[in-house]
Amino acid sequence: MNVLDTRALPCTLFIIISLTFSIIQTTNASSLDDDWKAFQQTENQLFNDFRSEHDKAFTQFLEEHWEEFDLFQGKTRDVTPKLPKAPVVKNWITSIYDKIGQTIFKEEPKAKNYKDSRFFFGHQINPIQFPSIDFPDLNHPNNKKLAQTWKQFSNIDHERTIQELSRHKKNLRLGDWGLYLYLDYLLQDQLPAENQRISYLWFLLNKMNYDVKVAYDKTQIFLMIPSDQTIYGKSFVEIKQVTYYMLKTKTDQSPLLSYPGKYSKNNQSFVVDFKNIIKPSGQKKSRDLNYKEGNSTTKIELDFDTGISAMLNYYPQIDLVHYFSAQPDETTIQSLRSQISTKLKGLTERESINYLLNLTQTGFTYAKDQQQFGEENYLLTEESLLYQANDCEDRSIFLAWLIKDLLELRVIGLDFPGHIAIAVETKKETNDWHISSNGRSYVLADPTYIGAKAGMIMPSIKNEIPKVINF
């Protein structure tokens, strides 16, 4: 007769209870997981249904609500003409620098066109496969065709495309303007027809939460953006007290039509500044800067990232405070520090200011933007190293960064009619031209007045009162 060993009961019961509890836990966990997945699917479906209804309503809106808007000429920051050439201090010795203010261009200086390259400003790109789209005929656009185009776009699931674009933007460290350039670059091959490409840009940017509009005339579609910063030189329309800048020039007088509403009330204006331009490409170029030092010429070699400097050529013109506030890329910063810091050892503060002032005055050739680019074009430090010449605001931007970084002194910009200079917070000497701002005293430093020391002002502007640019 078999006898049950009661000593094994507690262990056996524990195993049975543990297995039962584990099964219950697994069942509950599986059930919770299934419930969570079902909840997510329901929420996603509700969101997709909402998005579908929203796109449907916007499509219906586009079929009807288009109006003719007045097109205003692009804003001009300063209507006063700039100096035709850099003035020289009377009796300043120019024998070793005879070509001051003279610029001879062998060819029109232009940055490499990113649209003609397999690289996006020095970065090799993994292309995004955009969906195939059946466009209506947009050669002669109208409201019905644009509404139909939006409907075609919204019938395609773009979720993965938007996620991929957002990831590329983050990886390339692009700002809002850089994202627009990048999208345009990606779509060049797939959509060579400009009206098709612009209409798709309009859709994608709205889906990425930008308040972008289109307008059309007899033959063209125009992309329009609002910006937190004033953009100069681009035509614009006013819609419900918001300024929308046209990214392409309209060349005829035909009516321009757009719509008054927004795709989403949460869509934002562009931020057009220099806080996020693009990740450095790692491709360097060097500029030999030859400047007057005593009775001889000194040469320094300055490096800059070619991708960043080329991309800046495609930026619109904004207020000067953003240029003064901008940091050069790390390649340029390290080059400037290593090449110039040693030159300042043993000099007093005033001597150091004058050294950097002279370097900027005599190290660059002066040319108005109209001569070099055919239009107004402010240059950041990297661009001053890239191009053959620069003018007053470009030199001031360059010098301001040198003084702030190498000497750790406060600097302000000075906006005279037709001229830009800077002033430095330093001890005032007799006969110095100086200005007060926010309780601080600043001494003039003009990088365009060749031979001028700190405190000296051009005769042509000595009676003018400048606007102060704090940064």
The pLDDT assigned to 33 comes to 61
Whole-number average pLDDT of the chain: 88
Average pLDDT over residues 114-126: 79
Whether 145 has a pLDDT exceeding 90, the answer reads: yes
Quick: pLDDT tens for 192-242. Answer: 999 999 999 999 999 999 999 999 999 999 999 999 999 999 999 999 999
Output the pLDDT for position 24.
Answer: 52
What sign for the dihedral angle of Cα 71, 72, 75, 80?
positive
**CA 249 – CA 195 distance, rounded (Å):** 14
Q: Summarize pLDDT for 255-296 with one digit per residue, the tens.
A: 999 999 999 999 999 999 999 999 999 999 999 999 999 889
CA distance 182 to 121: 10
In this model, does residue 38 exceed pLDDT 90?
no
Which residues are bridge partners to 213 per DSSP?
A: 224
Strand segments, DSSP code E, in 92-136 are: 119-120, 123-124
Within 10 Å of residue 144's Cβ, how many Cβ atoms? Answer: 13
For the stretch 428-464, pLDDT in tens is 999 999 999 999 999 999 999 999 999 999 999 999 9
Contact 364, 386 (CB under 8 A): no
pLDDT value of position 128: 92
Residues 6+ apart with CB under 8 A from 192: none
Nearest to 220 by CA among 190, 242, 252: 252
Residues of the chain with pLDDT > 70: what percent? Answer: 84
266-269: long-range contacts (C-beta < 8 A, 24 or more apart)? 266/209, 267/206, 267/209, 267/210, 267/211, 267/212, 268/209, 268/210, 268/211, 269/210, 269/211, 269/225, 269/226, 269/227, 269/228, 269/242
Q: Which residue has the tokens 């200079």?
A: 421
Helix (H) or strand (E) holding 389: strand 389-390
What integer pLDDT is reported at residue 4 of this predicted model? 34
Q: Does residue 19 or residue 301 have the better pLDDT?
A: 301
What pLDDT, in 10s, does the model give residues 192-206?
999 999 999 999 999
Q: Degrees (nearest 5) of the Cα angle 397, 400, 405?
A: 125
Question: Residue range 69-92: average pLDDT?
Answer: 92
DSSP 399-454: HHHHHHHHS---EEEEEETTEEEEEE-----TT--EEEETTEEEEEE-TTSBTPPT
| Structure-block tokens of residue 344 | 């300042």
Model pLDDT, residue 126: 86
Is residue 72 within 8 Å of 238, Cβ to Cβ?
yes
Instruction: Kindly indicate the confidence band of residue 161, based on its pLDDT and cuts at 50, 70 and 90.
Output: very high
Per DSSP bridges, beta strands 365-366 and 236-239 are unpaired
The lowest-confidence range among 99-103, 201-205, 308-312 is 99-103
Position 48 pLDDT exceeds 80:
no
CB within 8 Å of 96: residues ≥ 6 apart:
292, 295, 296, 297
Distances in whole angstroms, Cα of residue 330 to Cα of each of 68, 100, 324: 47, 30, 17
- Work out the average pLDDT over 355-372: 95
Phi, psi of 49 (to 5 degrees): -65, -45
pLDDT category of residue 52 using cuts at 50, 70 and 90: confident
What pLDDT is recorded for position 96?
Answer: 41
Residue 95's pLDDT band (cuts 50, 70, 90):
very low
Q: Percent of the chain, pLDDT > 90?
A: 80
pLDDT of residue 30: 59
The model's confidence at residue 47, banded by pLDDT at 50, 70 and 90, is: very low
Sequence-distant (6+) residues with CB within 8 A of 261 are: 61, 65
- Does the pLDDT of residue 398 top 90, yes or no? yes
Dist. CA 384–CA 367, nearest whole Å: 12
pLDDT for 184 beyond 80: yes
